[in-house]
Every structure is written in structure tokens, then in C-alpha cells.
Amino acid sequence: MVVKSADFITSIANSARISELNKPQFAFVGRSNVGKSSLLNALCNRNKLAKTSSTPGRTRLINVFEINKSFQFIDLPGYGFALGSKKEQNAWQELIGTYLENSSNLLRVFVLVDIRHEPNEKDKQMLNYLYHYQIPFSIIATKTDKISKNLIIKNLNIISSVLSVGRDDIIATSSVKKDKLDAVWDIIEQDLKRVCNGS
Ligand code: GTP
Ligand code: MG
């Protein structure tokens, strides 16, 4: 995919506005700090399109980016962010839940897990949720540049077994090294083609 344009469109804090999203969408979910915003930037070849931060919980709204004026990347707030009041956490969950269940143009959710850490209960809950609502998803392991090749293989086996997904179905990426981003684009392109063909 040649990214000719990538524009920030809007931030959504209120589930009532979700119906405004009317183009094909790909959403990025995962724990705070896993690298959602960084991956989105790397895919678009832009450094500062989505705000990234070493402080977990940087993205608190549903941020919408439009690629080539034809489809959208949805940067969702990270789950499992320990800070913030219970009320605030519930509000985020409600926002994400409403988005995932009601966005008729959502083609796929990319679920990000940090290659260095074993997926936790929240990650498993997210997958169960996606299975339950029959939302197509792909698993992306992030930050492969931070560990050795051997450890990548070992940790992919762990992630695959904890999440009960095939090891070859996990895309092991690095946004810093721009590694395996083409595999993510392949999936996006296939989904978009399917929409165009009406299948
Ligand atoms: P929230 O918005 O808080 O949910 O976080 P996020 O998932 O959007 O994470 P973000 O992209 O802001 O990245 C968090 C931190 O991880 C930042 O310091 C990034 O620079 C770093 N990071 C993200 N991806 C990579 C990667 O592939 N390699 C390395 N080495 N660091 C990364
Ligand atoms: Mg973010």
C-alpha cells in the first residue's frame, strides 16, 4: 500500500458519535504502552501522526485517522491502565465496547501484545470478546527489536499457547525497525479488496 495521505480526523469521547464513522475501519487495541500509536505511525510512515508516549494511558479517546481518503485507522485507548479513577476506567471500557459492537464499518481489530510479556487476563478477555461478537481480528506482537531472535521465537510460542492462536498467525513487528509492517499491510489490503468485491 502506498500511503499518499494520512490525516487525523477526530477524537471521539462520547459513544453517540460512533455512527459518524462511515468508512472502512481497522482498529488497534491492546494494553497501555504496548505500541498501538507507534505502530499506526510506522504503518503510515509518519512520526507524529498519533501521539506516542512512554507514559501509559496516553491515548484516552478514540482517535480516528484517515488513510488515502478511503479508509480509517482507529487508535483505541489502552486497556489495563492502572491510573485514573474506577469511574474513568469504566467510561473507557464503555466507549471501546460501544465502538466494537456498533461500528458496522469495522473490518478488523489488530490486537497488540508486547513480545516481551506473557499476555494477561485483559488480553484474553479482549479475544473472547472479539470471538463472542464475531469481529475479525489479528494478533500483532510488538517491540521485537527489544529482544534477541531466539527469545522472539520462544516468546511467540508462549503467546500462541496462552492466547490459543496459531504461532504463524501472530505477526511479530517492530515499529522502530519497521519490521514486518508489510505483513500487516497485506492483511489490510485483503480486507479492503473483499469489501470492494462485496464478499
Ligand atoms: P497508550 O496510548 O498509552 O495506550 O500506549 P500505546 O499502546 O499507544 O503505546 P505507544 O505507541 O505510545 O508506545 C509506548 C512506548 O513504547 C513509547 O515509548 C514508544 O516509543 C515505545 N515503542 C512502541 N513501539 C515500539 C517498538 O517497536 N520498539 C521499541 N523499541 N519501542 C517501541
Ligand atoms: Mg496510544
The predicted-structure confidence for 41-54, as pLDDT tens digits, reads as follows 999 999 889 888 77
- Residue 71: inside a domain: yes
Q: Which amino acid is it at 34? A: V
pLDDT higher than threshold 90 for residue 67: yes
Q: Indicate left, alpha or beta for 77 from its phi (over 0: left) and psi (-120 to 50: alpha).
A: beta
pLDDT digits (tens, 9 = 90+) for 169-198: 999 999 999 999 999 999 999 999 998 887
Ligand 1, atom 18: nearest CA belongs to which residue? 54
The answer to whether residue 1 sits within a structural domain is no
Q: Tell me the H-state helices in 48-138.
A: 86-102, 121-132
Task: State the residue range of the domain holding 81.
Answer: 6-196
Task: Check which CATH number belongs to the domain holding 187 and give it.
Answer: 3.40.50.300
Q: Which ligand is nearest to the CA of 55?
A: 1
- pLDDT at residue 16 in the model: 84
* Domain total of the chain: 1
In the structure grid, which three cell numbers stand for residue 83, read together?
491510573
For 69-93, give the secondary structure using H, E and C.
Answer: CCEEEEECCCECCCCCCHHHHHHHH
Ligand 1 surroundings by CB, under 6 angstroms: 30, 32-38, 52-54, 56-59, 78, 142-143, 145-146, 174-176
Q: How far is the CA of 186 from the centre of ligand 2 (A)?
A: 23
Identify whether 59 is part of a domain.
yes
Question: If you measure from the C-alpha of residue 13 to the centroid of ligand 2, how many angstroms do you get, rounded to a whole number?
Answer: 15
Note whether residue 174 is domain-resident: yes
Judged by its nearest atom, the ligand closest to the C-alpha of residue 180 is 1
